[in-house]
Structure 1
Amino acid sequence: MAEAQAPEIKMPDPVEVSKAVTKIAEQSQRLVADFLQRQSAGGALALVENPSLGSAFLEMTRRLLANPGKLVEAQIDLWKVYVNLWTQGTSAVFFGQNANSAALSTRSDKRFKHDDWEQNALFDYIKQAYLLSAQWVQSTVAGIEGMDEKTKKKIEFYTRQFVDALSPTNFPITNPEVLRATIETGGENLLKGLSNLLDDLERGKGSLNIRMTDLEAFQPGVNIAATPGKVVFQNELMQLLQYAPSTETVFQKPLLIVPPWINKFYILDLREKNSFIKWWVDQGFTVFVISWVNPDVTLAEKNFENYLTEGTLAALDAIAKATGEQEVNAVGYCLGGTLLASTVGYLAARKDTRIASATYFTTMLDFDQPGELEVFIDEEQISMLEKRMERQGFLDGSEMAGTFSMLRANDLIWSFFINNYLLGKDPFPFDLLYWNSDSTRMPAKMHSFYLRNMYQKNLLREPGGITLADTPIDLRKAQTPAYFISAIEDHIAPWKSTYAGTRLFGGPVKFVLGGSGHIAGVINPPVGGKYCYWENAELPAGPDAWYAGARQSGGSWWPNWLEWVRAYAGEQVPARVVGAGELAPIEDAPGSYVKRKLIVA
Structure 2
Amino acid sequence: MTAGQPSPDDHTDYHDFADRMSRMMIAQMTGGMAPSALWQAMADWSVHLGTAPGKQAKLAEKAMQAPAILAKRALNAETADPMPQDRRFASDHWNNPPFSTLRDGFLLTEEWWQTATTDVRGMTPANEAALSFAVRQALDTMAPSNFPHLNPEVLARARDTQGGSVMQGLMNTVADVGAPKEMPSDLRLGKEIAATPGKVVARSHLAELIQYSPTTDTVHPEPILIVPAWIMKYYILDLSPHNSLVRWLVAQGHTVFVISWRNPGAEDRDLGMQDYLDQGPRMALDAIDAITGAERIHAAGYCLGGTLLSIQAAAMARAGDTRLASMTLLAAQVDFSEAGELALFVSEAQVALLEDLMWHQGYLTGDQMAGAFTMLRSNDLVWSRMIHEKLMGEQTEPNDMMTWNADSTRMPYRMHSEYLRGLFLENRLSHGKYRIDGKALSLTDLDLPIFAVGTETDHVAPWKSVYKIHHLTDADVTFALTSGGHNAGIISEPGHRHRHYRIATHPHADRYQDPEAWVAAVAPQEGSWWDGWAEWLRARSGDPVAPPPMGRPKAGYEAICDAPGSYVFQR
TM-score between both structures, scaled by the size of structure 2? 0.89
Alignment of 1:419 onto 2:388? yes
SS at match of 1:218: coil
Structure 1 segment 360-399 matched on structure 2, within 5 A:
360-399=329-368
Name the SS for the 2:327 alignment partner: strand
Task: Pick from 32, 42, 48 the counterpart of residue 57 of structure 1.
Answer: 42
User: What do the CA deviations read for 1:348-373 (whole angstroms, capped 9, x no partner)?
Assistant: 11111111110000111111211111
1:237-386 residue pairs with structure 2 within 5 A?
237-386=206-355
- 2 CA distance for matches of 1:525 and 1:535? 16
What is the alpha-carbon distance in structure 2 between the residues aligned to residue 188 and residue 294 of structure 1? 42
Shift in Å at residue 332 of structure 1?
A: 0.3
Deviates more, 1:185-194 or 1:141-150: 185-194
Percent identity between matched residues is 39
Aligned pairs, how many?
539
| Paired position in structure 1 for 2:520 | 548
CA deviation after TM superposition for structure 1 residue 278, in Å? 0.6
Going from structure 1 to structure 2, the CA distance change for 1:187 and 1:330 (only over 3 Å counts) comes to same
Determine the C-alpha separation between the residues in 2 that align with 1:106 and 1:261. Answer: 34
Distance 1:58 1:343, change over 3 A: same
CA distance in 2, matches of 1:467, 1:173: 58
Deviation at 1:267, TM superposition (A): 0.9
Please name the residue that 2:90 is paired with: 113
- Paired amino acid for 1:77: K
Q: Does 1:567 align with 2:539?
A: yes
Is 1:136 the equivalent of 2:112? yes
Q: Distance in 2 between matches of 1:45 and 1:80?
A: 43
Q: Which runs of 5+ in 1 are unaligned?
A: 1-41, 92-97
Counterpart in 2 of 1:227?
196
State the distance in 2 between where 1:330 and 1:388 align.
34
Q: CA deviation at 1:201?
A: 4.5
Map 1:444-459 onto structure 2 (within 5 A). Answer: 444-459=413-428
CA distance in 2, matches of 1:527, 1:501: 29
Q: Hey, what does 1:590 align to over in structure 2?
A: 564
Q: Measure, in 1, the Cα distance between the counterparts of 2:142 and 2:57.
A: 24
Q: Identify the match of residue 409 of structure 2 among 436, 440, 444.
A: 440
* 8 Å CA contact 1:106, 1:112 repeated in 2: no
Report which stretch shifted further, 272-281 or 184-193: 184-193
Amino acid at match of 2:224: L
The answer for the alignment partner of 1:526 in structure 2 is 494
Instruction: Tell me if structure 1 keeps the 8 A contact 2:82–2:107.
Output: no
Please state how far the C-alpha of 1:384 moved relative to its aligned partner: 0.3
CA contact (8 A) 2:40 2:127 kept: no
* More moved, 121-130 vs 138-147: 138-147
The letter of the residue matching 1:487 is T
Equivalent-residue separation in structure 2 for 1:166 and 1:460 (angstroms): 41
Evaluate the alpha carbon distance shift between residue 43 and residue 373 of structure 1 in structure 2; reply closer, same or farther with a 3 A threshold. closer
Question: What is the deviation of 1:68?
Answer: 4.9
The equivalent residue for 1:153 is 129
The equivalent residue for 1:467 is 435
For the residue of structure 2 that corresponds to 1:561, the secondary structure is helix
Give the distance between the partners of 2:51 and 2:176, measured in 1 at CA: 45
Q: Are the aligned partners of 1:524 and 1:530 in contact in 2 as well (CA < 8 Å)?
A: no
Residue ranges of structure 2 left out of the alignment (5+ in a row): 1-24
Instruction: Mark the CA change 1:545 to 1:113 in structure 2 (over 3 Å): closer, same or farther.
Output: closer
Partners of 1:500 and 1:73 in 2: how far apart? 37
* Deviation readout 1:491-532 (Å, 9 max, x if unpaired): 111111111122222232222211222112211111225321
Deviation at 1:324, TM superposition (A): 2.2
**Does the C-alpha gap of structure 1 residues 49 and 332 become closer, same or farther in structure 2, counting only changes over 3 Å?**
closer
**In 2, distance between residues paired with 1:478 and 1:65?**
50
Which whole-Å CA distance do the structure 1 matches of 2:409 and 2:355 have between them? Answer: 17
Q: Could you tell me how far 1:576 is from its partner in structure 2?
A: 3.1
After TM superposition, the structure 1 stretch with the greater mean CA deviation from structure 2, 218-227 or 568-577, is 568-577
Superimposed CA distance per residue, residues 193-216 of structure 1 (whole angstroms, 9 cap, x where no aligned partner) = 445445444246xxxx6x8xx522
Q: Distance in 2 between matches of 1:530 and 1:428?
A: 22
- Match in the other structure for 2:548: 576
Q: Which residue of 2 aligns with 1:216?
A: 185
Could you tell which deviates more after superposition, 508-517 or 226-235? 508-517
Give yes or no for the alignment of 1:558 onto 2:543. no
In structure 1, the residue corresponding to 2:548 is in which secondary structure? Answer: coil
Task: Show CA shifts across 1:378-420 (max 9, x none).
Answer: 1001000000000011111012111111111111111111122
Q: Distance in 2 between matches of 1:49 and 1:451?
A: 15
Does the Cα contact within 8 Å between 1:344 and 1:480 map onto a contact in 2?
no
Q: 1:45 aligns with which of 28, 32, 55?
A: 28
What SS does the corresponding residue of 1:357 show, helix, strand or coil?
strand
Q: TM-score w.r.t. structure 1 length?
A: 0.85
Q: CA RMSD in A?
A: 2.2
